[in-house]
Structures are given as C-alpha cells and as structure tokens.
C-alpha cells in the first residue's frame, strides 16, 4: 500500500524526485503541505528533461523533380521506447507558387532516407543526434494514396500555411508524412514537438 501523498508512477516520480533533490528512488512521501498537480499536455518546457523527455524540431526540404511527388515526414522508430508528439507542422511555400500538400499517417514503411531531427534544449546539445527521425523521399511517381487526412492549399504568392490537425501522437513504429499533391513541386515543411519515454500501460487505448 502506498504512503499518504506518495507517488509510485515512475514517470511522475522522477520529476518530483529531481525537482526536490530527493536522493531515494522511488520518491518517499511528499509532505502534505506540498501538492503536485498534474496538468495534462501543459508541462513547463524546461521540465521535460527531468523525466527523460525532450523537445525537438526539424525542417524537411526537397527540390522539385520532374514526374515525382516530394515527401517529408516524421517517424517514431520501431523499438524507440518513446512517445512522440508533433505539435506543429507548417508548409513554407518558398517558391510562392500555387500548390497543395497532403498529410498521411501509416505504420513505419519503406522510405528513401531517414535522417535526424534536432533537440530544442541546449542541455542535450542542439546537434542532430535526436532519436526522432526526419523522413525524405523524392522517388515516388504517384501519390501515396487517396487516404489523406488533411490537405493544405496555398495560393500563388502565399507564404507559410500550418496544418490544423496537430497534435499527432506517435507510438513506436509510426510515421506522419506530408506529400505534394502533384508532381514537380518543391516541398519545405517545418516540424516541432516533444517526446518522452513510454510506459507499457500507455500502449493500450
């Protein structure tokens, strides 16, 4: 049986233990005059690292290729042990041309290149060794399929346009892809989000 005001869930326990400088694991009872309130999806950004989480960002870019649809995306790799949340997806219409971009989700599949995203916290370094992957592919002669979840349409001369369907929550082994809706178009997409370690009970809806 847990003690009064004791936290047994490992993910939250580690935040409390490190925040108060507690030496034991799991954290012992927290004094009754101290109350920890969990506000879902509203963690302070600097606290992510306390429970092993992190903020990340990436930019996926491909030049137009004749007869090819461009694809960029984000992958939570199989076996990562992470829960990846995408909080922002924005198309940058650098060519200022009329174009459309479609969003797809799928289990991890074949892709031309899987690179790295970047941490948004200097305590982890800003270098490109983040386990969340950035996907790029300019080998497809036809769209992924007809099952797009959202489409963003930009007009000639228009700049940035965000996708409205965020946030996207990815368990290990899933992709979110943005594809040009027609061939021979540049694609530039900015992604941002966060990730944290996933617990087994979170894999069941």
The confidence band for 188, taking pLDDT boundaries of 50, 70 and 90, is very high
Q: Is residue 43 part of a domain?
A: no
Q: What is the mean pLDDT of the chain?
A: 87
What residues make up the domain containing 26? Answer: 10-38
Q: Is residue 2 part of a domain?
A: no
The confidence band for 5, taking pLDDT boundaries of 50, 70 and 90, is low
The mean pLDDT of 45-67, rounded to a whole number, is 90
Domain check: are 61 and 150 in the same one?
yes
CATH code of 146's domain: 2.60.120
pLDDT on residue 106: 94
Domain check: are 91 and 144 in the same one?
yes
Domain check: are 32 and 70 in the same one?
no
Domain check: are 28 and 120 in the same one?
no
Give SS3 for 156. Answer: coil
Domain check: are 187 and 104 in the same one?
yes
Domain check: are 130 and 70 in the same one?
yes
Domain check: are 59 and 88 in the same one?
yes
| Cβ-contact 59, 186 below 8 angstroms | no
What pLDDT digit, counting tens, does each position of 19-44 carry? 777 776 656 566 666 666 666 556 68
What's the pTM?
0.81
Q: Is residue 1 part of a domain?
A: no
Domain check: are 67 and 163 in the same one?
yes
Q: Is residue 139 part of a domain?
A: yes
Domain check: are 19 and 96 in the same one?
no
pLDDT on residue 43: 67
Q: Which of 171, 170, 197 is nearest to 15 (CA)?
A: 197
Domain check: are 121 and 87 in the same one?
yes
Give SS3 for 71. Answer: strand
Residues 6+ apart with CB under 8 A from 12: 36, 38, 51
Give SS3 for 61. Answer: strand
Domain check: are 17 and 79 in the same one?
no
Q: Is residue 145 part of a domain?
A: yes
Q: Is residue 33 part of a domain?
A: yes
Q: Is residue 175 part of a domain?
A: yes
Q: How many domains does the chain have?
A: 2
Check pLDDT > 90 for residue 8.
no
- Answer positive or negative: Cα dihedral of 161, 176, 62, 114: positive
Check pLDDT > 80 for residue 148.
yes
- Hey, what are 100's tokens? 């459309």
**Helical (H) or strand (E) element with 93:** none
Domain check: are 92 and 19 in the same one?
no
Q: What are phi and psi of 28, to 5 degrees?
A: -70, -170
Identify the weakest region by mean pLDDT among 5-14, 53-62, 90-99, 185-194: 5-14
């Amino acid at each position: 049986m847990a003690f009064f005001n004791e936290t047994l869930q490992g993910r939250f326990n580690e935040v409390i233990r490190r925040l108060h400088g507690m030496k034991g694991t799991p954290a012992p009872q927290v004094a009754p005059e101290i109350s920890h309130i969990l506000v879902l999806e509203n963690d302070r950004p600097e606290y992510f690292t306390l429970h092993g989480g992190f903020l990340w960002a990436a930019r996926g870019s491909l030049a137009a290729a004749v007869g090819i649809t461009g694809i960029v995306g984000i992958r939570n790799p199989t076996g990562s042990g992470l829960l990846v949340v995408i909080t922002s997806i924005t198309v940058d219409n650098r060519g200022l041309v009329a174009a459309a971009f479609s969003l797809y989700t799928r289990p991890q599949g074949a892709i031309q290149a899987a690179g790295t995203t970047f941490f948004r916290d200097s305590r982890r370094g800003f270098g490109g060794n983040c386990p969340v992957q950035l996907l790029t592919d300019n080998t497809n002669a036809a769209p992924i399929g007809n099952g797009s979840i959202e489409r963003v349409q930009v007009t000639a001369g228009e700049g940035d346009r965000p996708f409205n369907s965020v946030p996207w929550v990815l368990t290990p082994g899933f992709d979110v892809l943005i594809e040009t809706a027609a061939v021979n178009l540049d694609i530039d997409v900015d992604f941002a989000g966060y990730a944290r370690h996933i617990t087994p009970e979170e894999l069941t809806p």
